[in-house]
Structure formats: structure tokens, C-alpha cells
Structure 1
Amino acid sequence: KLLSWKSRGARDLLCRICLVSAISSALFTNDTTCVVLTEFVLKTARQQNLPPHPFLIALASSANIGSSASPIGNPQNLTIAVKSKISFGDFLFGILPAMLMGVFVNALVLLCMYWKSLSVQKDVEDPSGEMVPLEDMTSHRFSPAIMSRHESSSPSVHVENEVIHQDTQKISSKRSGYLVVIGMLISLFRGFNMSWSVISAGLALVVLDFEDAEPCFEKVSYSLLTFFCGMFITVEGFNQTEIPNTLWKFVEPHARIDHVGGIAVFAAVILGLSNLSSNVPTVLLLGKLVDASSASAITGGNWNGNKAWLILAWVSTVAGNFSLMGSAANLIVCEQARRA
């Protein structure tokens, strides 16, 4: 609703997509954000006769950038937070300024790239012609046969009570969902175990939904899961060759984070690997190497070690925007758009 409410045109819609996807991905991961919003973005673009490509790119790129702000924003951030033992608050406030600047720059670049295509004014489709969801049809539409069959039992009163019950259940379910999310965030800021906090919140939401989970499982992309399983196996095999350790020993003296040049070299290594093997395998590959060398990079203690980890989290996440293979969110958006 926030994306389409009082939208002032294509450019306004693109900026909203950038903002909403960035915030959502920081709370619910970039992959989840792309799964949920891709279909809605396509539907909105189709209703307004707009080209979908700018909005899909805005969704994927902003979801990647926004997910960098929190340890639960994407899998590589959670891996980094667990290995480095950085608290949720330190992680969030350490990357938040860069994330906000990244979302702003991303929206600005997309507006410049697609300014002409977003300037074309086209006729808007009549939303009344949309297909009505099946559950709405079964709740509010009745055939003459059904009406005649239930005339004697006051069907209108029964239907009205059923609708009121469904609306009340939806409202209570939404409120419960908001409370669960708020409780999860409080637990994370209080320093509780991130994995268990998120799993507990997810189980609570499943229980509160009171619906069959089978439709959710049908939406699982098993081809993507197979792809990443193969990627992780490949990375582990590559680690066993000792080639990464040899290359890191050569690069590490030039990639120390005590000066701008070292940070640039460190970022370039992460950027290259992230686009070759995706960002999650890159973090698994570089994680233990960074852990071993970050303490000796500068004589400054934990803050400098945390700085190396945060640079790894930020660059590996943003690097996903440079190629299709750089991030799972990119693949999800493409797969969802192709199916649509």
C-alpha cells in the first residue's frame, strides 16, 4: 500500500521502491523482500503501463544495499556477525550511514539512467478490471443456486457475520505480527542470540497465521537452492587446494585497513570475488583469512578488527549489484519476473 498510495508518477514510484525495499531487506533479508515485492512491482508497473525493468532493478539493487545494514539482512552478514561476535547494535550503527548514502546514490543513478523512459506519460489501466482473488470471490459472491438454497436461513446475516469474523481475524493477525517483529528487534538489540531470536519469531508468525503452510512451500525455488548447494561445495573444494591462503598472503600486506590505499585494495579483492562466486561464498572464503589478519592489521584492538569485518560485510553486499550472479536477490527477481 505504501508503494502505490498517492503515487505522483513513475519517478516517485521508483524512489519509493528504493526506500521500502531497503528498509524491508534490513529487517527481513533481501531475498525475502525480493520474493514478496517482485510480483507487486510487476503488477503496479503493468497497471500504469510503465516499463518494468527500472523498477525491478531498483528493487533488487536497493534490497542488496539495505540488507547490508543489519546482521539479519542477508546470509553473509549473519555469518560475519557470528564469526566476529559484533553485537547487533554495533553492526547496525557501523554500516547505517553507508547504507543510507548508498540508497540515495542508487536512486539517483537509476533516475538518471531511466529519466526518459520514466517521463513518458501513458494511459493507466482501469484497476476495476483486475482479477479478484479466489478467497474474495468465495466470500462475497454467490450464485443464484446458492442463494435460493439458503434463503430460508437468512444467508445475508450469515455472510455478514462471516465477513466480520474474517476481518477481525485479519486485524488481530496483523497486530500479532507487528508485536512479534517488534519483540524480535528488541531481542536483537538486547544482545540475545540472533539465530534463535529470528527462528523463534518465524515460528511464532507461522503459528499465528492459522493457515496451511503448503502454498508457502510451493513457492520455494528448489533450483536456486540446488545452485547454492553446488556453489558452497565448490568453494569448500577450492579452500582445500590452499590456493586462497597463498593468494591472501600475497595480497594481505597491501590490503591493510590502516590507510586508504589498503582499504581500496581490500575492497577490490572482495568486489572481484563476489562477482565471480557470489557474495556468500566470498565471505566464507575470506572470513577466516580476515579473522586471522584483522587483529594484526593495525595496533588498535577490537575496533579495528570490527572495521575489517564491517568493510567485508558492506563491500560483499553492495558488490551483488554489479552482476546477476553477485547476489541471490538478483536471481530471485529475474526468476520471479520470468515466471510472471
Structure 2
Amino acid sequence: MQLIQRLISPVVFISQRLLHDPMLLSMSGLWVVLWWLQPQPLSDMAERVHWSTLAVLTGLMLLSRSLELSGYLTLWGRQLLAHLSEERRLAVSLVLFSGLLSAVVTNDVALFIVVPLTLGLARMTTLPIARLIVFEALAVNAGSSLSPIGNPQNLYLWQLSGLRFGEFLWVMLPLSIGLMLLLLLLVPVAFPKAPIHLKSASLGTAVRQQKPLWAALIGYPLFLIAVDMGWVLPAMVGIMLVMLLVARRAVFSIDWLLLVVFVLMFINLSVIGELSVVQQAINMMRQWPGGDISVGVLLSQTVSNVPATLLLAEQSEWQPLAWGVSVGGFGLAIGSMANLIALRLAHQPGIWTEFHRWSLPMLGLAWLFAVLWKNALSL
């Protein structure tokens, strides 16, 4: 009987996680369908996975969790609330901070900083935390579109264009400003001009730990420098070892299933991009208003904006493509890896519905702005 229970318990655990995790469930189901349509060895599937990206993601998750466990985010959150006692002002500040930060340290790194900070506010206030995190995710998509190093697709297209850093930034500036202004126009709709109410239980002294704090503060820049130099795997292993020594709880409490989601996503989206029907759809969409901008937007809604960039780069002009895949980061959650990271870090009930409630209108507004701007320049 015990043997049967031991054999069944992993199956029960996996089934429960699948049922309570719509992204993992959908990616697993899609993988089964694609494997049935195009059977291939597991070794071929493994080659489709961007392992270096997963290693970077693992390191950032560990550093972010260590910072969260230190307790200092709660302290900094209190200081933030002391200066911003109104819900709308707080939302505007977090949107601007997220957008500017993402242009400097990339969109995913920005989220690993601002989302834990925002979650710290949940313990002190009755703020709509899920909505705040949704707007932060939208803000990093908008802000990161400005910089050649703001997101992976910009980095790739910057290298492809041959432009200097400032030249690329100048081309993307109108889009980035437009996206941030559109998002800021949505803030008054989403957040009332109301005072922030503190929870009575939040007035106590927060538990603070120095070791996890310093491990994160020192680890962040060192990890990013090592990654930039190409030492991705050693950097991730180093962060893992440090966390096992000074913040072991961080290692065992990060969302490891998020990595499984990304493994499945890399495989699924790579296979989808090779389907002949997808190539035919791309050729058809080029005839639509907006041209390469619209193709970039729509393909991002299907396979995410980084794979869309790789698929289209060789057969598209880089500038409208860069605008299209940046706009395509809005809309469906799969449009950008940053969206998935934010939603998984949040662990807030109803956040998937809340995300699409604001992201889909943002996609429509951003798409319209990009196409109209392009048409105005061509007159």
C-alpha cells in the first residue's frame, strides 16, 4: 500500500499543479499536440531551448527572492508610502520608475526589482496589488522599447542594424514616449485619487536580515557583469552556491515551475514558427495596413516578441519590425516574456484576468499610434 502511495503521490502533485497553473497546463497540452503532429527525438527538442536564458532567469529569481526575504523591501515600501500617500500618485511613480529602470537594466531585471517591492506593499496596505503589478509589466514593455539593451529583441535588431547606440535610441524614442504617455493616460482610469489605507497589522517592526540583503545587492551587479561577459553558467552556479550559504530559503522557495514553463514555451514556439501555415500567414499579413509593424504585432501575439523578431528579421526592415514587436509585447500575456515573469512573480488571485483587462486595450492604442506615426512620416 505504501509503495502504491509513493508511486501515485508524484502523479497527484503534478496533476494538482497543472490544474492550478493555466500557463503550465496550456504549454504542456500544446507540447503534446505539437509532438503528435511532428514527432521528434527529445535531443532535438532540447536544442530548441535557450539554456543560457534559463540560467540567467534562475540567477535573477534567486537574487530577487533573497532581496524579498531580507525584509528590507517592506522597510523601503514604508518609506515610499510616507512620501506618496495617494493611490494614483503611487501608481504613476511606480509606472515611471519601472519604465525608466527597464531602459537601463532590461525589462526582466526591472521586474525582479519592482515586483517584490510592490508585493511588500501588500502586507501594509489595501492597495490593488495585482493591478499595480500589471501596470508595472506594461511599463517595462514600454520603457524597454527605447534602449538597444532594454530587451532581447532590441539588442538583436541593434546589432543587425549596424547603428550607433544613440542612433538606435533616436529611432525608438517616438514610440517609447508614445507608449509611456498612453499608459499614463490609463492610470487615472485604473487608480482613483484616493488616500492609501494602512493595515493595522503593518505598523509593527519588520524582520530584517542583513545577509540576504547584501547577497542580493552585491550579487545583482556582479551577476549582470558576468552574464554580459558570457560567463552565464558559472555566474548562475555561483549565485546558487552563495544563496545556499546565506539564504537557503531563497533556493527552495523560488518558482521552479516557471523554468519548466519556459522550457516548454521555447520548444512549442520554435516548432510553431516552422509550420508552413505560419509562413503563409506572415506573407498575407504583410499586405495589411501597417506592413511590418502589423506583422510584428500579430506574430508576437502568437509566438511571443523575441521569437517573432528572429523569424522576421531576415525578411523585414528592422525599424518597423522593432516598433511592431515592441507593441506586440502588449495584448496577450504570451506577447512578451516579461509579462509571464511578472504574472508568475506576483502570485495574485485573478491577475491573469486583470492583466488582459488592461493589456488588450493598451495593445489596440499602441498599435494605432505606431501605424499612424509611420503613415504620418511617409506623407
Which band: TM-score by shorter chain?
0.5 to 0.7
Offset at residue 46 of structure 1 (A):
4.0
Q: Do the aligned residues in 2 keep the contact of 1:320 with 1:327 (CA within 8 Å)?
A: yes
Normalising by structure 1, what TM-score? 0.64
| Structure 2 stretches lacking a partner, 5+ long | 1-75, 350-379
Percent identity, aligned pairs only, is 26
Offset at residue 124 of structure 1 (A):
1.9
Q: Do the aligned residues in 1 keep the contact of 2:86 with 2:194 (CA within 8 Å)?
A: no
**Alignment CA distance shift 1:334-1:248 (3 Å):** closer
Normalising by structure 2, what TM-score? 0.58
The count of residues paired between Structure 1 and Structure 2 equals 265
Q: 1:234 aligns with which of 258, 268, 276?
A: 268
1:125 lines up with 2:151 in the alignment: no
Give the AA of the match of 2:343: C
1:323 lines up with 2:353 in the alignment: no
Give the AA of the match of 1:48: T
**Alignment CA distance shift 1:24-1:4 (3 Å):** farther
**Alignment CA distance shift 1:68-1:221 (3 Å):** farther
The residue matched to 2:127 in structure 1 has which SS?
A: coil
Alignment of 1:66-145 (within 5 A): 66-112=143-189, 114-115=190-191, 118-121=192-195, 123-125=197-199, 127-135=202-210
Offset at residue 23 of structure 1 (A):
1.0
Q: Do the aligned residues in 1 keep the contact of 2:126 with 2:196 (CA within 8 Å)?
A: yes
Give the AA of the match of 1:237: V
**Residue deviations 1:28-70 (CA, integer Å, cap 9, x gap):** 1111211221121122244232221331121110011111111
Q: Do the aligned residues in 1 keep the contact of 2:285 with 2:294 (CA within 8 Å)?
A: no
Alignment of 1:185-200 (within 5 A): 196=228
After superposition, the CA RMSD in angstroms is: 3.9
The residue matched to 1:47 in structure 2 has which SS?
A: coil
The residue matched to 1:18 in structure 2 has which SS?
A: helix
1:40 lines up with 2:108 in the alignment: no
Offset at residue 197 of structure 1 (A):
5.7
Give the AA of the match of 1:133: R
**Alignment CA distance shift 1:30-1:198 (3 Å):** farther
The residue matched to 1:104 in structure 2 has which SS?
A: helix
| Structure 1 stretches lacking a partner, 5+ long | 139-165, 185-194, 256-260, 295-308
User: How far, CA to CA, are the matches of 1:80 and 1:62 in structure 2?
Assistant: 21
Q: Do the aligned residues in 2 keep the contact of 1:70 with 1:92 (CA within 8 Å)?
A: yes
> What does residue 62 of structure 2 align with?
none
> What does residue 212 of structure 1 align with?
242
1:335 lines up with 2:369 in the alignment: no
